[in-house]
Structures are given as structure tokens and as C-alpha cells.
Amino acid sequence: MLIPSLEELEKIYNNAKKDPSFKKEFNFLLKTFAGRPTPLTFAKNLSEKLGAARIYLKNEGLNHTGAHKITHCIGQAILAKRMGKKRLIAETGAGQHGLATATVAAKFGFSCTIFMGEIDIARQRPNVFLMEQLGATVIPVTFGNKTLKDAVNAAIKYWIENVKDTHYLLGSVVGPHPYPVMNCDFQSVVGKEIKLQLRKFEGKPPDYVIACVGGGSNAMGAFSAFLKDDVRLIGVEAGGKGNQVGENAIRFPFGSVGVVEGYKSYFLQNSDGNLQKTHSISAGLDYPGIGPQLSLLHDTKRVEFVNVKDKEVLSATRLLAQTEGIIPALESAHAVAFGIKLALKLPKEKIIVINLSGRGDKDIFILAKAFKDKKFMSFLKEYLKDV
């Protein structure tokens, strides 16, 4: 039922790619609305503290709405306008993609509905509040695991029923064609910026680029400019609490090839092809699938995949905050945690770029709980007394 809409989207996108006025509008909004280019920051204190490789941070958290997601939202909103659509819908896990979609909906004058798992609504409440302030309706998804994959299913179902006037603004490099290609193209600005910015600092390309991987949009964005270069590209998955089923979102090596939600890729699934439960401290990486481009890059060994545990993510968050003055999103802190471990094994002249896909404001409640911050909890209790 969706094939005609996907074909329409592909056609509009292919035309837009050749149209200088599309590029002009996209780049103008990236610059004047999203805040691109985001800075590349030399993590001097962290690098010196570790006494190891030189670490650079691509601070995507400084984008408007706090993460890389705004970039592909702007691109797709322009296309939705060209298709004459009236409503944007989206799935969200951490709430960053939902927030960015609600933001472009307000800016472009679309109505907006966001699907979000009940569990994610509970753990990323600040973003739910913000989406609603922007005029979006947030629909809790109450079936399945009540997390990201269920939100995708609910959004697809809604799209089938309302396809005429609705654009599904899918938020990663997953789903059916043309979404992975299109979102990767939009996000590729990140890697291009890193290349130029690092050349000014170091006069050469990095030795490593590291990014966290949920569906894979920030990773493909950071990696795509380096695919043909002699640069090691490392995707960091959610190692969660352990290696048992349901304790992590490690697609490599625990996933197998399947076709789900309109795309063929690696998935965490059982022998009947049903998706398995996943866990991550970060809602944005708590997903059993991964973009098909990253699956291919895994199979061809161009991108290496590693994972880090929730506990390492929390330590990395605190270390980055206290050495560099940057509180990363818990998703991005996965890349930081692995970057720190890698840096310690490398000589000082090696250069690592870590893609900080987002900032940590949204995670304030998770962090306060994880760090057992009694003062914050008693503040909440006091505050609620008056409500």
C-alpha cells in the first residue's frame, strides 16, 4: 500500500537533488536555523589526562534542538512541502527526532503527530513536554516492548491509513528505500564538515572516526565522507547490561539477516524472525535493527563494530563533563566511552574524531537517578508538592 508513496518520495528527492533551489533552501536553513556548521573541538584536557591519542569532538549537540536529527528533518520537510503534504508523522525513541520533527512542522506549518513507546515517554519526558509545546501530538505506543521499534510500527500503520496528506518523516537510515539513501545524503554534511575543520587544525585526515549506532544516521553522516580514505571507522553499539537476549542492542555479532519494517538488514531476532527485546540506558540506541548501508559496510569490513556497557557510558559522561565542559547525550556517550578506551592504546600522534551526536539535557532524569543524586530527587519531591 505504501509503494506509490515511496515511489513519489524517491522521484521528488531525485528531482530535488538536481535542483539548485533545493540545495539553496536546505543549506540556508542549515546555516540560519539549525546552526551549522557545528564546531569541531579539540578535547585538550581529556587528551592530556589520558596521556594518549589526540581526541576531537564533533559537537552535533550544538545543533538547534540538541542533536543531529534536525538536519534530515529540514531536508524532508522541504520535500514534504514540495509533495503538497499537510501533516508530518514520525517515530521517536530518545525524543530527539520527534523534537526535531515537531520543530520543522511548526516552522513549515505542518500539523504533526509523533509516535513514542510508553517506556520511552517515561524516560525521556523533557522531550515529550517540548514536542507538545511545539504543537505536536505525542501518541504513546502501548504494544510490544513499548520502545522505538514499536513506535516505527505504529507510525507505518498510521501512514498506511493516512497516506494521501501525510509525510512519514523517518528519523534514521532505516526503513524502505529511499529513506536510508536520503537521510544518509542529508547527514553527509557532518563528515564533510569534519574533514574541512580537521584540516585546519591538523592539516591531515583523522586516523579514526567513532560514532554511536542506533539506526545509524549520525554514524553514516560522520563516516560517509571518509569511506574512500585511509581512516578507520568505528560504530559503537549499546552493550547494555550484559550479553543475554534482552540485555543489549548488539546487532554485530548477535543479529542475523531479515526483512522488517520495509528493509533488509541485520536484526536481533529469534529463529521465527520475530524481533527480540533490546535494552540500552539510552533510548536512541535501544533498537533491534540497523541501517542497510551499515550492514553492508560491516559485511565488507569497512566499518568495525564494537559495544560498550551502560556503566561505561555513565563513567564516560561524567569524565567528558568534568574535563571538557560538555555533557553528551547518553547515545553519544557510547562513542565517547569507546573513544577513551581506544585512545589509551594509541600513541600520542594518532587522531581520533568522536561524533557527539547530541547533548545530554534530555537525560537529566536518567543521570540523576543513575548517579543517585539525592539533592535532585528531594528537589523533585518538594517541587511536586505545589503542583
- Contact residues toward ligand PLP (CB under 6 A) are 67, 93-94, 96-97, 172, 212-219, 284-285, 329, 331-332, 357-358
Min dist. Cβ of residue 379 to ligand PLP (A): 25
Instruction: Find out whether the peptide bond into 176 is cis, omega within 30 degrees of 0.
Output: no
Question: Please, what's the largest Cα pairwise distance for the chain?
Answer: 59
- Both ends of the chain: CA-CA distance in Å? 47
Min dist. Cβ of residue 302 to ligand PLP (A): 17
Q: Is 357 a catalytic residue?
A: yes
d(CA 100, CA 348): 38
Q: Is 91 a catalytic residue?
A: yes
d(CA 231, CA 294): 16
Min dist. Cβ of residue 331 to ligand PLP (A): 3
Catalytic residue among 47, 217, 224, 357, which? 357
Nearer to ligand PLP, 158 or 287 (CB): 287
Min dist. Cβ of residue 94 to ligand PLP (A): 4
Catalytic residue among 5, 58, 69, 224, which? 69
Min dist. Cβ of residue 35 to ligand PLP (A): 15
Distances (CA, A) of 295 to 130, 213, 263, 289, 298: 34, 11, 11, 10, 5
SS3 sequence of 64-130:
CCCECHHHHHHHHHHHHHHCCCCEEEEEECCCHHHHHHHHHHHHHCCEEEEEEEHHHHHHCHHHHHH
Min dist. Cβ of residue 152 to ligand PLP (A): 12
Q: How many CA atoms lie within 13 A of 196 on its CB side?
A: 8
Nearest-10 crossing angle of helices 125-133, 96-108: 10
Nearer to ligand PLP, 75 or 284 (CB): 284
Nearer to ligand PLP, 206 or 214 (CB): 214
Nearer to ligand PLP, 13 or 186 (CB): 186
In the chain, alpha helices (H): 3-18, 20-29, 44-50, 69-82, 96-108, 118-123, 125-133, 148-161, 179-187, 189-202, 217-223, 251-254, 292-299, 310-324, 330-343, 364-370, 374-385
In sequence order, the 6+-apart residues with CB closer than 8 A to the CB of 19 are none
Min dist. Cβ of residue 334 to ligand PLP (A): 9
Q: Is 192 a catalytic residue?
A: no
Catalytic residue among 91, 193, 324, 331, which? 91
Nearer to ligand PLP, 101 or 217 (CB): 217
The helix/strand/coil state of 152 is helix
Do 345 and 306 meet the contact criterion of CB atoms below 8 Å apart? Answer: no
Residue among 167, 3, 28 nearest 84 (CA): 167
Nearer to ligand PLP, 97 or 251 (CB): 97
Nearer to ligand PLP, 54 or 295 (CB): 295
- Catalytic residues, by residue number, are 69, 91, 357
